[in-house]
Structure 1
Amino acid sequence: MQRLVERHVPAVTGLLTVVSLALVFAAALRVVPAGALPRAPEAVLSAVPHVNAVISVVAFGVVGASWRAIRRGEVERHRKGMLAGVVLFAAFLVLYLYRVALLGPTHFDGPAVVEQFVYYPILGIHILLAVVCIPLLYYVLLLALTRPVSELSATNHPRVGRVAASLWLTSFALGVVVYLLLYLF
């Protein structure tokens, strides 16, 4: 299986991206009836945004530290950190999509002018970057998992990884800003 993936990283990236985005949009558009999902207690559903904000802050720190580690030549620390970042991102996404599938998106209760000129532009950029990151993350992750470390520098992993990490960090940061706008301001 690893050899198959290694030979077809772009195709596997495309397949995983399509499946992932289908799941994301199915949850966001509430294609799955809420009654088809087990319902967590209200306290758990209410805690999800706060837990996800913490996950985002931790993921931002982990990805940033991992990026710094590879710049210092600390390959194993980079690898572990980026895998941790992917796990944190997956946890965030599962929690977020579960809550959205059950309750729908959270409404902005602030002033209309802030909603129109601050909240929606930040939310839009955050969502766009998150969607763009998905194939980039799959691509660099598949390259890293299917090749020896000694060969990675000869692939697109370093170049695409820099772009993916930059966009990923920006998306995490904007996600925290969206959280602050929704729940604290």
Structure 2
Amino acid sequence: MNIRGYARAHPRRVTAVVSAVGYALVIGTFAGVLPIFPDIGRQTVLLFSDAIAVINTCALTALLLGYYFVRRGKVRAHRAAMLTAFALILLFLVVYLWKVGGGFEKEIVIEQGQFLAAYADVVYPLYLAMLAVHILLSALAVPVVVHAVVIGLSHDVSEIPDTDHPIAGKLAVASWSLSLFLGVVTYWMLNHVYSWAPR
């Protein structure tokens, strides 16, 4: 049995394994037990931060286009858009983990004179709340997104309506879109509206 055949017969097992590998990479990088990324300097961290925002914006655009296409019955265009979004998220994961593992994270700093600085006691918790929802949805969306992709790649188009793909796809689009949107908003707040300090 080839990989596609195995994924077709056992989509949930494949989803569980791929999701577990993804979680292990993220947790291992943050815990510092996976020293697989070369060290990078401050300028590269800044470049990676900007690249991540561009990647996430493109992924969100592809995701919404994919939803638009499937609602209009354009299945091939839907598939291309969703696979593009998935490939962009894999690219994001590499760049993000490299930024964290080889560089550093940033912490928002609201300085006097900046936009709504007088309301920092509201802006700062709002930023943290958006960041928390972004991170939580990113984590929760992994198995749903992977499951939708696994089914989409392992089944023929005519079989898709009789699988978990339609439900998983709707959940993936909702959680993934909100996560990406909040990621871009918090990026702008951290890098272009307010100041930051290494964490």
> What is the TM-score when the length of structure 1 is the normalising length?
0.92
Give the CA deviation at 1:85.
0.2
Correspondence list, 1:1-185, <5 A: 1=2, 2-33=4-35, 37-40=37-40, 42-110=42-110, 113-114=121-122, 116-185=124-193
User: Does the 8 Å contact 2:67/2:78 carry over to 1?
Assistant: yes
Total equivalences in the alignment: 183
> What is the TM-score when the length of structure 2 is the normalising length?
0.86
Give distance in 2, aligned partners of 1:30 and 1:147: 38
Give distance in 2, aligned partners of 1:122 and 1:59: 19
Give the CA deviation at 1:30.
2.4
Which sections of structure 1, spanning at least 5 residues, go unmatched? Answer: none
Give distance in 2, aligned partners of 1:37 and 1:53: 20
Give distance in 2, aligned partners of 1:6 and 1:182: 43
Identity percentage over the alignment?
30
Give distance in 2, aligned partners of 1:170 and 1:142: 22
Amino acid at match of 2:163: T
Amino acid at match of 2:7: V
Secondary structure in 2 aligned to 1:108?
strand
Give distance in 1, aligned partners of 2:47 and 2:130: 22
User: Does the 8 Å contact 2:7/2:151 carry over to 1?
Assistant: no
Amino acid at match of 1:14: A
Q: Which has the higher strand share?
A: 2
Larger Rg: 2
Deviations 1:30-88 (A, max 9, x none): 2234xx53234543332011111111111111110110000000000000000000011
Give distance in 2, aligned partners of 1:95 and 1:179: 15
